[in-house]
Chains A and B, each alone.
Chain A
Amino acid sequence: MKNRRTFLLVFLAVLIAAIYGTAVFAATPNKCIQCHTNDALMKSLHKPPVLPKSEGEG
């Protein structure tokens, strides 16, 4: 009987953690896309590459 109650408690705790965790994860904004979907910002951050003084490729 005691074992059954412990199992139930653990199960409920895991269930709550899983549901709560998913909710937290879903609510966390993906900050990558805040910058990477912003044309003007991305353009302003762009630095032209410094070309190596090597031979051509292709």
Chain B
Amino acid sequence: MYKGYVVDKALLDKDPHFKAGCVLCHAGNDGELSREKAHLGMLKKPSDNLRSCGVCHKKVSVNYAKSLHYTTIGQRTGVLPRFSEAELKTFDEKVFEKSCRSCHASCGDCHVKGAPIGGISIGLIAKHKFVKKDEGKTCAFCHGGRVYPEYTGDYGGAPDVHYQKGMLCMDCHKKAEFHGDGTAYKSKNEVPQRPACKNCHPNGKEAKMETQVTHRRHDGKVSCYGCHSGSAYRNCNDCHGGHAAADPGMILGRSPRDKKVLTTLRLIPTVRDTFAPAGIKMEHFDAVPNYWDTPAHNIKKRTDRTRKCDVCHVDRKNFLTKETMIQNGAKANDDLIFVPKAIKN
């Protein structure tokens, strides 16, 4: 049954959001029955103007205006080292504002109606109820290319152990991370509220002594994902094809953000000609790699790697090498190659 824009009549009396009528937020003309006349001047997404919600939710809306979901500046931060000054200007005008920024989420996208992705929208989340959260209809819709299906196992890999235990996105990613704290962070990596495995699983609290020793030995050298990513995960190029071939897989290498740390890497979709249609050559394309460190959302307590040291230290399974690297990639990719040491007896 189609429920796209059907409003629950029962909500109208009990929810204060509806007290002043539809037009307070949506404008248009509530005295007209003709579809065209009623919708004349109507705002489909009133929360695109954060001040609409800010009338009552002032602090949240002021902070949210600087949050990464709203600014989408993280996408710009990741790619900007590849551009010359002139190219960055073109990127900002032709690409960022017109393409990347169109993906920003405003209040209603999480609390009222699923965001339209690729022309498809699920419509109202719960008949225009202002919901606190509904990850399967909101997070999953925008992050449905890789993260969410990776987490639930719908992508084809093993579901994340946290999902199997009944946890959803907001059990780790807290409200403060989404609403922001009023600081305009440039990347998700700067956000202090972002989740960390150690918040719930601190070193030294493991049940087995052997596990404690292993964790201590690898602490600061290997990320948790490096050993606990349970299966192959989707790389961006799996969907954003046409630029280069990529299959689902696990890639282990040095983190581009901290070369001392071995972690799971994900092949990103930016290749040499990505912005050619906008006239951007990417003069400094080689400055940053085609792989970013990635928090794989397919965690398992036990994996091949946690069972046997040989998987890394002898077989070197899934490690990035010159041979497995993307063709015609950035020169910076070479810096991510990590060769694990053999174990001394």
What residues make up the interface of A, taking CB atoms closer than 8 Å to B? 28, 30-39, 42-43, 45-46, 49-52, 54-58
Contact = CB atoms under 8 A, between A and B. Distances in A.
Interface in B1-37: 1-9, 12, 21-23, 26, 28, 30-33, 35
Contacts of A36: 5-7, 22
A26 B154 CA distance: 50
Interface stretch (B113-121, B295-303, B328-336): B113-121
A55 B9 contact: no
Contacts of B2: 42-43, 46
B103 interface: yes
B119 A37 contact: no
Contacts of B242: 55
Contacts of A43: 1-2
A56 B6 contact: no
B119 A52 contact: yes
A34 B33 contact: yes
B118 A45 contact: no
Interface stretch (B141-149, B189-197, B203-211): B141-149
Interface in B240-255: 240, 242
A33 B121 CA distance: 21
A50 to B, nearest CB: 7
Contacts of B21: 30, 32
Contacts of B38: 31-32, 35
Interface of B: 1-9, 12, 21-23, 26, 28, 30-33, 35, 38, 103, 117-121, 142-146, 239-240, 242
Nearest to B37: A31
Contact of A58 (B12, B30, B144): B144
B48 to A, nearest CB: 18
A51 B119 CA distance: 6
Contact of A31 (B5, B33, B143): B33
16 contacts: A31-B31, A31-B32, A31-B38, A32-B38, A33-B12, A36-B5, A36-B6, A42-B5, A42-B6, A46-B4, A54-B118, A55-B239, A56-B240, A57-B118, A58-B142, A58-B144
Contacts of B8: 37
A48 to B, nearest CB: 9
A38 B6 CA distance: 7
Contact of A30 (B30, B103, B118): B30
A33 B22 contact: yes
Given A30-B22, A32-B38, A56 B145 contact: yes
A26 to B, nearest CB: 11
A49 B116 CA distance: 10
Given A35-B38, A38-B6, A42-B4, 8 more contacts: A31-B33, A34-B33, A35-B33, A37-B7, A51-B120, A56-B145, A57-B118, A58-B239
A57 B103 contact: yes
